[in-house]
Structure 1
Amino acid sequence: MVVALSLSACSSVKIRREDAFALIKDANWQSGVLNAGNFDLLGAWPISPPSGANGSADLTIYIEGDGLAFSRPNRPSQNPTPTDAIALKMAIAHQGAGAVAYLGRPCQYVLDAHLRNCDQSYWTNRRYAPEVISSASYAIDQLKERSRAKNITLVGYSGGGSLAVLLAAKRTDVTEIITVAANLDLGYWVARDHFAPLTGSLDPADFATDVAQIPQIHLTGEKDTVIGTDVVQAFLAKMPPGHHAHLIEYRGFSHNCCWAEQWRSIELSLKNRP
């Protein structure tokens, strides 16, 4: 029975990985594994950059969510590869000027040879550990060098939004942050839902002051029962006066729906904001 369950899990990871790589191929993108400190991270980008993006000063990087952290309540999954690559779909739908790239999280999508340091804690309680932030920052340096960009916009879905804030607090080249359904105040979130504390993780809310002067937009879904608008409001409440952060709640949207499906129109509406 244990062998059967293990084989089933492996098959599920293979399917999830194949689905993501099919999206990359169909979009005329390419992918590569980035050796980034403690972890090997999946990166992806267009084979043919958008018109005018070669040597652009601007690079938009989409950061994936936490993925399949738990297979059931209180039972960590064997592999965090997402069942739905929402941030990847958003990246592929990106219509903005400049270069674009996608960044996966530790242990997502990569094969056995690149699963070093893949302890379950890195998709459960230590999902935002300092070494995770450092690894993502190394990968961003590589994506930035590839596109010859100077400035970075970070777009993070769910836990990827938490990572975006933590990265922006550590870097000097992030000129905009956009988060989507992100758990930006871990202390508030775990207390509200009676979760175990994310011991070993950094809390984006502790860095609210550090990122306050970076232009940022935080998108939430009215029907999101996983994170919810109140979590982002708790984060914004820790911002000092004169901060540059804005909250937009989308009616009818949940945690998963309908960010990827409507990203092109959402992105356009954000660009046309006064």
Structure 2
Amino acid sequence: MLRARGLLTGLFSLLLAGCAAAPNQLELTRQAQTVAQAGGLVMAQVPTERFVLTGFYRITRPDLPLTVYIEGDGFAWRTRSQPSSNPTPINAQGLKLAAADPAPNVLYLARPCQFTPMAVNPRCEVSYWTGKRFAEDVVVTMNQAINQYTARVPGQPIHLVGYSGGATIAALLAARRGDVISLRTVAGNLDVDEVNRLHRVTPMPGSLNAIDIAPRLIDLPQIHYTGSDDSVVPPVIAQRFAAATGGHCTQVRVVPTMRHDSDWARAWPALSNEPPRCMKRADDER
């Protein structure tokens, strides 16, 4: 039974990764640098108490808000039953979104153990890209990393954007920070338990679930973009999260013909320019 459950969990993660074999980390990092450079983003290693994260950033107007992008779950499983040895994403959709954003201040953060060499991350364990990918210490790590860059735009608020599993992290961060003025998600896994139930995979007791804190975001301007053809995280997940917030500031935008792994970056300059409901345009300096 345990093996069967592992097979199902691996299958779902492979769907999220979109591929069953990965290039080596060095090659993936080079590809990421190419994407980032096209968007004027500079690579950095971001030390936190538990992990060293990889980030890409562009800060040209310290007097304006900072937009923070959180990457998806990456390459979690190599086969249906075998976790990968490195979760670095094959197709870094979150990074592509950040590179497509014309805002003056942009920060992209990879998730723990993605891109950063394992040699400088001795606490990286397989659990952090499988069952504990949304654990409390992961959220704390991401929060610490963001703090290092908000210090470069003193007194300015932040916009949070999360892709796929990065949407869970973004929502959890929004619930515990006081400087977030908007939340946007793309193909976001905002109800981990329900997505696992839909795909008949095992629960993740070591992880937090964004929908549990949704009521705390009742007054936060937010848009959740979901693809009409997304069979991995279908539109009903964003709709469940929006209902759980209980607020009129939450919008769900179903984008026609888009799948989970579609080219969201191509559409992103137009989508990201849409102001969330309840947000004053003057506050959304993009």
Question: What TM-score comes out, normalization by structure 1 length?
Answer: 0.88
Q: 2:34 aligns with which of 17, 22, 27?
A: 22
Question: Which of 76, 79, 102 is the matching residue for 2:83?
Answer: 76
**Residues 156 and 272 (structure 1 numbering): CA distance in 2 closer, same or farther, change over 3 Å?**
closer
Give a deviation string over 1:168-220, Cα, whole Å, max 9, x none: 11111111000000110112111111111112100001101111211110000
1:222 counterpart (214, 228, 237)? 228
SS for the counterpart of 2:24 is helix
Q: In 2, Cα distance between the equivalents of 1:195 and 1:106? A: 23
The match for 2:175 is 169
**For the residues of structure 2 that align with 1:272 and 1:138, how far apart are their CA atoms?**
26
Structure 1 match to 2:46: 34
Cα offset, 1:113, TM superposition: 3.1
Aligned equivalents of 1:180 and 1:149: distance in 2?
A: 27
Indicate if the aligned counterparts of 1:188 and 1:234 stay in contact, CA closer than 8 A: no
User: Which residue number corresponds to residue 45 of structure 1?
Assistant: 57
Change (3 A) 1:273 1:206: closer
CA positional deviation for 1:89: 1.1
The answer for the alignment partner of 1:4 in structure 2 is none
1:263 to 264, 268, 272: 268
* Alpha-carbon distance between aligned partners in 1 of 2:156 and 2:39, rounded to the nearest angstrom: 25
Contact 1:153–1:175 (CA<8 Å) still a contact in 2? yes
Match of 2:185 in 1: 179
CA shift in 2, pair 1:10/1:205, >3 Å: closer
Q: 1:224-251, CA deviations, whole angstroms, 9 ceiling, x for partnerless residues?
A: 11111011122223223x3421100000
In structure 2, the partner of 1:3 is: none
SS of equivalent to 2:208:
coil
1:147 to 123, 145, 153: 153
Q: Which residue of 1 aligns with 2:66?
A: 59
The structural deviation recorded for 1:65 is 0.6
- Which structure features the higher share of strand residues? 1
Q: CA shift at 1:119, angstroms?
A: 0.5
- Are the aligned partners of 2:223 and 2:252 in contact in 1 as well (CA < 8 Å)? yes
Equivalent pair of 1:57/1:149 in contact (CA under 8 Å): no
> In terms of mean alpha carbon deviation, does 72-81 or 215-224 score higher?
72-81
Partner deviation per Cα, 1:245-264 (whole Å, 9 max, x = no partner):
11000001000112112211
Could you tell me which of 146, 157, 167 is aligned with 2:163?
A: 157
CA distance 1:207–1:68, change in 2 (3 Å): same
Which residue does the alignment assign to 1:6?
A: none
Higher alpha-carbon deviation: 104-113 or 171-180: 104-113
Cα separation, partners in 2 of 1:251 and 1:110, compared to 1, 3 Å: same
The reply on whether 1:107 has 2:113 as its aligned counterpart is yes
Aligned mates of 1:84, 1:108 — CA distance in 2: 12
CA distance in 2, matches of 1:223, 1:167: 28
Quote the Cα distance in structure 2 between the aligned partners of 1:77 and 1:147: 37
Query: 2-side partners of 1:273 and 1:164: how far apart?
Result: 18
Residue 10 of structure 1: CA displacement? 8.7
Q: Which amino acid in the other structure matches residue 161 of structure 1?
A: A
- The equivalent of 1:86 in structure 2 is 93
Question: Distance in 2 between the 1:72 and 1:60 partners?
Answer: 35
- Pair 227,122 (structure 1): closer, same or farther in 2 beyond 3 Å: same
**What is the CA distance between 1:45 and its match in structure 2?**
1.1
Conserved 8 A contact 2:221-2:276: no
Give unmatched runs, 5+ long, in structure 2.
1-20, 279-286
How many angstroms does 1:149 deviate by?
A: 4.9
Say if 1:56 and 1:99, in contact at 8 Å, map to a contact too.
Answer: no
Q: Give the superposition deviation at 1:87.
A: 1.0
Kept in 2, the 8 Å contact 1:161–1:180? The answer is yes
For residues 256 and 217 of structure 1, the distance between their equivalents in structure 2, rounded to whole angstroms, comes to: 19
Q: Are the structure 2 counterparts of residues 10 and 230 from structure 1 closer, same or farther at C-alpha, using a change threshold of 3 Å?
A: closer
Which sits farther off after the overlay, 257-266 or 82-91? Answer: 257-266
